[in-house]
Amino acid sequence: MKKNGWLGLTYHAFFIAFILAPLVVVIAVSFTSRGYISLPTDGLSLRWFEAILEQRQFINAFLMSSWLAFVAATVAIILAVPAALALARYRFPGRSTLMAFFLSPLMIPHVVMGIAFLRFFNLAGLSGSFGWLSMTHVIVVFPYALRLTLASAIGMNRDAELAARSLGAGPGTVFRRIVLPLIVPGVAGGWMLAFIQSFDEVTMTIFVATPGTTTLPVAMYSYISQSIDPLVASVSTVLIVATLIVMVVMDRLVGLDRVLVGKG
């Protein structure tokens, strides 16, 4: 394999620096001892991490975001598995149209979706419900769950499945003991990506969330519009560290290459 020259290495170094620079700045700002966002700072302090515990709104919003993301990702992956298997195995009229329909939330701006859901919920009298908020998130994250699950379903070797059927195994047994273990990297990756997308969603959620269903991104957005202190930077740092921990755990248990690429 041909190695990268100095120009290629320089390009990759600048690209990585460009991607990581905002994260480094946020982490650095979160340790400031000043009462406002400042970089460089004249001292390091953990005061803004301690302040998180005093902000009950952020803790409640974090719990809401976690539960909402879990429900949305789980429902999305439950719907994505049969859809992916059907699209991967069968050729039928309207297959391409159905695929485009499933992936259409990726092409619609979230602002447009937020306004549409807000209008619909107001007309139907459904606003303020956690269940309906979960439904909107399922619609948004379903394409992510479907894409990775579909990648595993397409690349799955069906020899073991056909052998099990020839030996008399029923459809439920074949799916549970053969098919599902073979596509589990794509399912795990799709669930993880759907969870992250739901947890981070703010553009659409800000239109349909209510005071009782405020998520962490919405709470952070509202906070920074009224304050200039580094509290939000400390919250962001905690989320960055938590994300790194999740990535390390997933890499140890399954392998990020299998999860993100969907290889079996």
Query: Residue 72: what residue type?
Result: A
Whether a cis peptide bond, with omega within 30° of 0, leads into 40 is: yes
The residue written with tokens 């809401």 in the block is 64
- pLDDT at residue 137 tops 90: yes
**CATH code (residue 120):** 1.10.3720.10
pLDDT of residue 260: 55
Residue-level length of the chain? 264
pLDDT bin (cut points 50, 70, 90) of residue 2 is low
Average pLDDT over residues 47-59: 85
Q: Give a yes or no: residue 15 inside a domain.
A: no
C-beta of residue 263 within 8 angstroms of C-beta of residue 155: yes
State the total domains in the chain: 1
Residue 11, pLDDT > 50, answer: yes
Distance of alpha carbon 180 from alpha carbon 188, whole angstroms? 11
On whether residue 74 sits in a domain, the answer given is yes
Model confidence over 196-219: pLDDT tens digits? Answer: 889 988 888 888 888 888 888 888
Q: Is residue 65 part of a domain?
A: yes
Structure tokens at 229: 């202190």
Residue 222 counted as domain residue: yes
Q: Is residue 31 part of a domain?
A: no
CB proximity list for 218: less than 8 A, separation 6 or greater: 61, 202, 205, 206, 209
How far apart CA 226 and CA 8 sit, in angstroms, is: 44
C-alpha 61/C-alpha 95 separation (Å) is 40
Residue 247 lies in a domain: yes
120 in a structural domain: yes
Average of per-residue pLDDT across 160-188: 79
Least-confidence region, from 22-36, 56-70, 71-85? 22-36
Question: Over 60: is that where the pLDDT of 18 sits?
Answer: yes
Q: What is the pLDDT of residues 239-262, one digit of tens each?
A: 888 888 877 776 776 566 655 554
- For every residue of the chain, DSSP letters joined together read -PPP-HHHHHHHHHHHHHHHHHHHHHHHHHTB-SSS--SS-S-B--HHHHHHHH-HHHHHHHHHHHHHHHHHHHHHHHHHHHHHHHHHH---TTHHHHHHHHHGGGTS-HHHHHHHHHHHHHHHT-TT-HHHHHHHHHHHHHHHHHHHHHHHHHH---HHHHHHHHTT--HHHHIIIIIHHHHHHHHHHHHHHHHHHHHH--TTHHHH--GGG--HHHHHHHHHTT--STHHHHHHHHHHHHHHHHHHHHHHHT-HHHHHH---
Give the residue numbers spanning the domain of 130.
Answer: 58-261
Computed over every residue of the chain, the mean pLDDT equals 83
